[in-house]
């Protein structure tokens, strides 16, 4: 049995320790596909991502390369923003347009949904919620992905989990047509929130069913899709060629790890002695900052992610150990 093909070697100049790549994911490919594409474009194997996007979805996918992959578990990427379109009147087995239609509401019942009902339904799905994820999801049930069990014909019932939807609002008037009501929305939500579950639950609350027809992620923590790069330069299904221009564009878009950390955490500057101690895992005087912060030395080099523990600070993730 052969393993995955090694990426073609390229002479790409990486920032020290690697960095983050903000990718504008196109529709029609998985997040894993994007990782594979970045490996091919940059000629690297050490590539990872944070925050999976469904194949139908587009928008911001945070990719890390080289040693920066170890930062992914520490970066503050817990709150996200989405633009989405919900179609009321039709339900699917996946709660999005990639699934099979399982129910269609009576047109008269759909037409009876007015703007006040719509606003009330959206308001009820804003705040601290217990949300049931879509059965067609990557959540594991007894060691197997839920979507694999569904595809095998099993009935999957996932437990509700706490999520935070801090904003769920319409971005324009509802569009009414023979296929149902299309509602464009913006959603700010915590990690683990399924926007397609919001579409399903809104439709259920209104008595007509609903599913997601479009989803675009525009923000992950401090990073936005406005700064993202296209790593395909063509339809993903056509496997576009990797040109020198594409390699230059993608490698030029790499955000050095230290710069990414500055955007994601409060910054604390330590003196030379403290830099040595912290870099070698020893405790230093507390910075007086809440939560995790980034410790830089006086030259601007990232030493570690740290947090206060009483009167002292300890390293959470060491990046550089000065001599």
DSSP letters of 44-80? -S-EEEES---TT-EEEEEEEEGGGGGGTTTS---EE
The whole-angstrom distance between residue 311's C-alpha and the CA centroid of its chain comes to 35
Query: 148 near 170, Cβ under 8 Å?
Result: no
The residues that bridge with 190 in the sheet, in sequence order, are: 79
Q: What is the DSSP letter of 119?
A: H
> For residue 207, what are the CA distances in angstroms to 100, 103, 182?
19, 12, 15
Place of tokens 């009414």: 176
Give the CB-side neighbour count of residue 252, counting CA atoms within 13 A: 7
Among this protein's residues, is 79 annotated catalytic? Answer: no
Counts of helices then strands in the chain (DSSP H, E): 8, 20
Q: Say how far apart CA 238 and CA 232 lie, in whole Å.
A: 10
Q: Say how far apart CA 133 and CA 136 lie, in whole Å.
A: 8
Q: Is the dihedral of CA 63, 67, 70, 74 positive or negative?
A: negative
Q: Say how far apart CA 220 and CA 191 lie, in whole Å.
A: 9
- Measured in residues, the chain has a length of 323
Q: Please pick, among 24, 54, 277, 308, the residue that the annotation labels catalytic.
A: 54
Instruction: Cite the active site residues.
Output: 54
């Amino acid at each position: 049995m052969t393993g995955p093909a090694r990426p073609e070697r390229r002479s790409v100049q990486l920032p020290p320790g690697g960095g983050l790549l903000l990718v504008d994911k196109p529709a029609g490919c998985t997040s894993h596909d994007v990782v594979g594409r970045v490996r091919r474009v940059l000629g690297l194997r050490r590539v990872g991502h944070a925050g999976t996007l469904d194949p139908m979805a587009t928008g911001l996918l945070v990719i890390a390369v080289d040693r920066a992959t170890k930062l992914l578990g520490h970066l503050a990427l817990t709150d996200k923003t989405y633009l989405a379109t919900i179609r009321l009147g039709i339900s699917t087995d996946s709660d999005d347009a990639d699934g099979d239609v399982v129910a269609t509401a009576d047109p008269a019942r759909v037409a009876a949904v007015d703007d006040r009902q719509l606003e009330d339904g959206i308001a009820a799905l804003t705040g601290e919620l217990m949300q049931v994820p879509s059965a067609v999801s990557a959540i594991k049930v007894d060691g197997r992905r839920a979507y694999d069990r569904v595809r095998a014909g099993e009935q999957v019932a996932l437990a509700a989990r706490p999520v935070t939807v801090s904003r769920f609002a319409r971005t324009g008037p509802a569009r009414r047509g023979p296929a149902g009501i299309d509602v464009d929305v913006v959603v700010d939500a915590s990690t683990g929130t399924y926007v397609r579950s919001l579409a399903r639950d809104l439709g259920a609350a209104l008595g007509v069913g609903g599913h997601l027809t479009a989803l675009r992620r525009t923000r992950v923590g401090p990073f936005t899709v406005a700064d993202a790069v296209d790593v395909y330069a063509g339809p993903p299904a056509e496997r576009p060629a990797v040109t020198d221009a594409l390699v230059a564009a993608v490698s030029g878009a790499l955000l050095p790890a230290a710069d990414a950390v500055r955007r994601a955490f409060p910054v604390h500057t330590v003196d030379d002695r403290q830099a040595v101690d912290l870099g070698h895992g020893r405790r230093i005087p507390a910075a007086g900052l809440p939560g995790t912060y980034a410790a830089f030395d006086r030259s601007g080099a990232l030493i570690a992610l740290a947090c206060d523990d009483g009167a002292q600070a300890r390293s959470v993730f060491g990046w550089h150990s000065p001599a």
